[in-house]
Structure 1
Amino acid sequence: MSLDGRVAIDLFCDGGTVLQARVQPARAVALGPIVQGRSATEAIRVIASLFSVCGMAQAAAGVEAAEAAMGIETEPRTQTSRRLLVFAETLREHLVRIGLDVQHLTDATPEVALLRRAMTLPVRLRKALFPVGDPFAPGARAGMPGTDADRIAAEAAELTCAMVHVEAGRLPEMDPAAFAAWASEGSTAAARLAYPILARDWAMIGCPKEKGGGEKLQALADTTCLARQAGEPLVGAFLSAEGEGGLGARLMARFVEAVKLSGEIAAGLAMLRMSGIHSSGLRGEGAPKDRMGGSENTEAWHSSSSARRHLLPAHDEPNAFSGIGYAEAARGRLEHRVVLREGRVVGYAIDAPTSSHFGESGIAERSLAALAAPSRAELALQADLLVRAIDPCVGYEVRFH
């Protein structure tokens, strides 16, 4: 069983121009009957197994919520180690999506060996950081990383250089002209994906016609990697005058985040080895700056779990405690809310980014409504690329009318 459903997308067109886009998110599955009465550890394990593409991010948000409800002050080393696992999972999704989209756009043979190595990164890092026990069990404690973790971090950097850009530090600062010149060389999968999009003048396709605003659109805020990386020069250069992003900006954000993540994993391992790691985890004195970007979303990783624990009103769930946890996944921000009574789940809910991104008036619907192409075949290709640029993990079907 999997909770990763499919999104239905209906495009009403006049030739190659979209007149209206309607997006129906996957049917929500009630978690209550699945996890009701289970221990927090069991519930988190079950939920992680039900999401095939972002299980570690789901588990990280779930355990943060559970520890908040249980009043467990998470050990900084464990908090940081869990965060690095989510980074590895997010990097995997970015690299795999880049590799597969190149094949889809150009019919090139995928770099199978590189993709297979990328697929195994999160699982291998999990084993290196938590050789014994479940890292997402409430109260889990991470040990000091060994040489295996360093080898995996080095491999993550090697794969990112091979698939995205050999000079990771240079990419976020490149201007569009320099990026286009580099992409034309076709030295990596990212270059081979970007160049035909730039050559066809598709960088701005899917850029919403109106600036997101109003209470409804604010509730459906974009939390994708574009939101996290919009402040980087290369990404910002592909935004519209109103600050909206189309296909080009979303691809640049994916490339930039991928190279940052490989560096963040190595930096996190170095921090774990610092003697007497500071109580605030990666934000301790002397800790490296968080390179995931300037988004306030990343602050969720560094907030205190105990500050989000509170006794629910008696008329709701007497003698029960609740907690909230967050994780920045490849597809966007996850929020888990759990209610526990005597260590057992009496309530569980997830706010998934796919629900908002692919909801009514969400970023996917507004972006798809802005598409126009000379032919229906070209429009179909643009729609596919745009959907996957918004969410690298979503299952979907595009129907033309």
Structure 2
Amino acid sequence: MRILGKWAMLGAACISLTACEQVQKVAANAAGLPTDENVLFWTQDQRDNAFRQMEVLTTTRTIEAGDSIRELPAGKPLPKTLKTENGDVSIDEYMAEQRLAGLVVLQDGKIRLEEYRMDFGPDDRWTSFSVAKSLVSSLVGAAIKDGFIKSLDDPLTTYIPELKGSGYDGVSVEQLLTMTSGVKWNEDYEDKGSDVARFNTTKSKDGVDPVILYMKTLVNEAEPGTRWQYNTGETNLIGVLVAKATGKSLSEYLSEKVWKPYGMAKDAVWILNDGGKEIGGCCISATTRDFALFGQFAMNGGKIGDTAVVPEGWFAKAGTKQADIGQPGAGYGYQWWTFDDGSFAAQGIFGQGIFIDPKRKLVIAGNGNWPRATPDDKKVTRNAFYKAVQDYLDSEATPDK
């Protein structure tokens, strides 16, 4: 997945673009940071180093936190070892196996577990990759609540008229949220000719957002609403939709609606594309605790005190199956992965995630660096850990069973 189109100055002055890029890459290499724009080709050590400081590598915009920080009281600590279907697993073993830098478990707004590894700490930021998708979709709910977007049934072209005549003619806002547009798309990260590889290299032209420039070239191959297909480009379009409808940058709107009023502890940063716009489908860097707080916000229905940020019932629908993804017990909501037991999750490549279980008032946030982008064995182990935490909380609630 290509996410870096610009290299930040690393303490050197340059007299030409070519020379500047070369000096920046040499400086990055000397600092142990990657110089290849494709994250899939970074070494594990480079990812360990870069994921905690993405703002050093490229242009970002700040998601400002406020002056009031939400307190997270300590709850009863989880045990150091949990029972899984494959035997007992300690927290240390789990974090090492998942290569987690940060892990935070909240229950009912209290910290049951908070652990850090890899020289990472509670005040440090880590990148999110596609976890950002779930945050962006939540801004659609906020824009509806604020009256900027009238209805999920509205045609997407009402808000992005540049897409008229493209494959997105006749696609609704809701179909974009659920990735059921029917538009032809290739999400293969390791195929250099795929859409997900090529659209990130599109340059802005005449002031037009590069997302629009690429996405308007796509054609429809299925009736909208009849087929689910994972499509990062469409989340980038959701970002364009929110920015156009609100007249605000995504960073500004997220700060205004959630980051400041909900009491996130630290500023976050969002990577920008070649057009100077936030990448809607990726790349918010924040503390693990603040990611957990966003999970708490979603679990509580998007309310801050008595103030509703999103329409009533938004997260109840966003976090339940709206599209069949062909996997038993799972589905896709409004940019959230859903499970038939009522839980839902935001997930990003290389092991980023926010797991939300409203039934148990549980949020689990983790940031790490898997050896590969989406290894199946790591997903299985992570799901087993989630289940082990759920089972332990159930045993607490019914100690006699």
What band does the TM-score fall into relative to the shorter chain? under 0.3
Superposition TM-score, scaled by structure 1 size: 0.27
Higher relative contact order (CA 8 A, sep 6+): 1
Q: Which has the higher helix share?
A: 1
